């Protein structure tokens, strides 16, 4: 069960970041935060989503908004991914799935007849006071980033 509820304060967390050190959600109080959870570095859908956020990163920044990507991949994988696709925002490493579970995105998935645990692609918009303003679950990549940008503008 998710501990993160719409319109409620998001519990603080800290994760290792591709940019070095750790990043805590509380580091961004006073800014809007777009947290996007994705299954894995270097996969087609995740690459497209990350590159879309990269391409719109300047517009998010103009709206006092920080973008953070989170997946269960380790920092070495994140470093390669961020470098290859020139991602200008931090990727956070949730190797123990603690934060993914907190947001309710660590789910039983099925692919090619096999069941496994993994991240359900989801995005969360957190307001300047640290409250969950909007969520998108079971995200389809096409036009998702523009939808998130419109929600940021409306906030």
Catalytic amino acids?
Answer: 46
91-93, strands of its sheet edge to edge:
91-93, 65-71, 32-37, 122-126, 132-136
Calculated CA dihedral for residues 144, 44, 59, 128, nearest 10 degrees: 70
- Which of 64, 63, 13, 72 shows the shortest CA–CA distance to 37? 72
Cα–Cα distance between 16 and 11 in angstroms, integer?
17
- Number of helices (H) and strands (E), helices first, in the chain? 4, 9
Which residues fall within 8 angstroms of residue 101, CB to CB, at 6 or more apart? none
User: Are 115 and 132 within 8 A, CB to CB?
Assistant: no
The alpha carbon dihedral of 23, 26, 32, 33 has a sign of positive
């Amino acid at each position: 069960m998710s501990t993160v509820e719409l319109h409620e304060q998001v519990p603080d967390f800290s994760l290792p970041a591709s940019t070095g050190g750790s990043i805590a959600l509380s580091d961004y109080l006073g800014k809007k935060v777009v947290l996007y959870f994705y299954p894995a570095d270097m996969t087609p859908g995740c690459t497209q989503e990350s590159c879309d956020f990269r391409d719109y990163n300047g517009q998010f920044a103009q709206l006092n908004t920080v973008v953070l990507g989170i997946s269960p991949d380790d920092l070495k994988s994140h470093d390669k991914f961020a470098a290859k696709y020139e991602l200008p925002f931090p990727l956070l490493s949730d190797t123990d799935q603690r934060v993914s579970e907190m947001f309710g995105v660590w789910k039983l998935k099925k692919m090619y007849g096999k069941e496994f645990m993994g991240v359900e692609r989801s995005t969360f918009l957190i307001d300047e006071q640290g409250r969950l303003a909007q969520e998108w679950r079971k995200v389809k990549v096409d036009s998702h980033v523009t939808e998130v940008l419109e929600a940021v503008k409306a906030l």
